[in-house]
Amino acid sequence: MSEFDAIIVGGGLAGSTAAYVLAQQGLEVLLIERGNYGGSKNMTGGRLYAHSLEKIIPNFAEEAPVERRVVKERISMMTENDAFTIDYHSPRLAQAGSDSYVVMRGEFDRWLFDKAEEAGAMTAAGIKVDELIVENNRVTGVICGDEEMRADVVILADGVNSLLAEKAGLRKRVQPSQVAVGVKEVYGLPAKVIEDRFGLTGNEGTAWLFAGSPSNGLVGGGFLYTNKESISLGLVLGLEHIGESEKTIEEMMVAFSNHPEIAPLIKDAKLLERSGHVVPEAGLSMVSTLYGDGYLICGDAAGFCLNIGYMVRGMDLAIASGEMAAKAVIAAKEKGDFSSATLQSYKTMLDESFIMKDLAVYKNFPSFMENLRIFNQYPAMVSEIMAEMFIVNGSPAVPLRKKAMKHLKTVGLMNLLKDGFKGVKSV
């Protein structure tokens, strides 16, 4: 007899959501988190698109530790000294159903972990799962030190580098080309100062992405999110090429924080936190094994992440996949069958959901982003065109089309056409 209906490894958004949904249906659930509490290892200070969690816990933002509701979107192309920024400000970004929140994952994940416990899940923090129990090609439990625990099904939600799944031969080893290194610094500032500097009021927030000089010409970019009384500032850099840069990650981060566009925003701020982590980047091509006899894989461990340049999503995918994993277990419990044939319903639900559909739409975007012109020549070209437009120094006027053409030729008209066509196809 199994001790539990389900054992969930990983107390992040996917794992805690699965535990919450299962516990609400009365199943015996054990949620295991390696950190001292749910979210203790999560360094992400980013953005949660609310739709997936709103369906599970209506009006969650009224009690959850969210920071600010995003009403401003900014995207910048940067050279070492210049920045060209697109700014979109709209109350529509905050409307119910399409709203999003800046969150500090350490606090937010802890809240959701505790919600799972309140719903009836047994939680165990500070416990490391060493390996899965596999008998007759079926996952039947986990081993933690000298202790074995059995379950009808094990849900793996243990992050992008799921060593348990790899060790058990359930999925292939994650490749450097599929992931990126994320580094983040949190700067403390009074709420009023943040609101003044970003043109915000009340609980309004800004989400800002950067391309060009922040990644020192490599695949990657920068991000900035406004919290209640702090700013999250960081870089995401493709792991595969990170050794090709003449700058270290630390040097890139220093240059980014000292950029003329950034430095005034964090002036007089106190550095509160530094952290780093590996994040999934390859989109649909990274998704591999999702289910089998006695197990399911969800969240980052399954490769569910979307980075399409102007938008980065992972949290809403993690929450939705955790919910679907739970529903698949509930259906398997009703049948009394936890075989691959029954748990396949998880994959069916994923295929019918926004997760796999969105991943399919943007499946070509990761390869498009391998084009280094995006991070080198294009920011420089845009910067030069903007300078030609706005600098007045007494020189005779030249038609703008001629000025622009001069800088377009630095990239190459054929390159512009090819990159434009490929970019449009990828989105």
Residue-wise DSSP of 24-41: HTT--EEEEESSSSTTTT
Sign of dihedral through CA atoms 89, 266, 374, 381? positive
List residues bridging with 83 in a β-sheet. 78
How much is the pLDDT for 426? 86
Q: Cα separation of 382 and 75, whole Å?
A: 13
How much is the pLDDT for 348? 98
Sign of dihedral through CA atoms 397, 403, 406, 407? positive
Contact 379, 213 (CB under 8 A): yes
Tokens of 271: 């550095």
Question: Running along the chain, 427 residues long, what does each successive block of 10 average in pLDDT?
Answer: 90 97 98 88 82 97 97 97 96 93 94 97 96 95 95 95 87 88 95 98 96 93 97 94 90 97 98 90 89 96 90 95 98 97 98 97 91 93 94 91 91 92 87
Q: Give Cβ neighbours of residue 15 (< 8 Å, ≥ 6 apart).
A: 8, 9, 31, 33, 155, 157, 158, 298, 299, 322
How much is the pLDDT for 44? 65
How much is the pLDDT for 241? 85
Running DSSP on this structure, what letter comes out for residue 92? Answer: G
Sign of dihedral through CA atoms 163, 165, 166, 171? negative
Gyration radius (Cα) of the chain, Å: 23
Q: Cα separation of 253 and 251, whole Å?
A: 5
DSSP strand E in 213-368: where?
220-226, 230-238, 270-280, 291-292, 295-297, 306-307, 312-313
Task: Determine the residue type at 251.
Answer: E
Q: Cα separation of 321 and 110, whole Å?
A: 19
How much is the pLDDT for 46? 85
Give φ, ψ of 205 to 5 degrees: -135, 165
89 by DSSP, 3-state: which?
A: strand
Q: Cα separation of 282 and 306, whole Å?
A: 8
Nearest to 256 by CA among 281, 224, 290: 224
Residue 212, CA distances (Å) to 270, 377, 405 in order: 26, 9, 21
DSSP strand E in 288-383: where?
291-292, 295-297, 306-307, 312-313
Q: Cα separation of 242 and 23, whole Å?
A: 43
Q: Cα separation of 43 and 327, whole Å?
A: 28
CA angle 49, 54, 58 (to 5 degrees): 150
**CA terminus-to-terminus distance, the chain:** 49
Q: Cα separation of 370 and 309, whole Å?
A: 12
CA 134 to chain centre: 31
Q: Cα separation of 364 and 219, whole Å?
A: 15
Nearest to 310 by CA among 69, 67, 85, 82: 85
Q: Cα separation of 192 and 207, whole Å?
A: 18
Contact 221, 230 (CB under 8 A): no
Q: Cα separation of 328 and 383, whole Å?
A: 51
pTM greater than 0.85: yes
Q: Cα separation of 138 and 176, whole Å?
A: 29
Tokens of 314: 């992972």
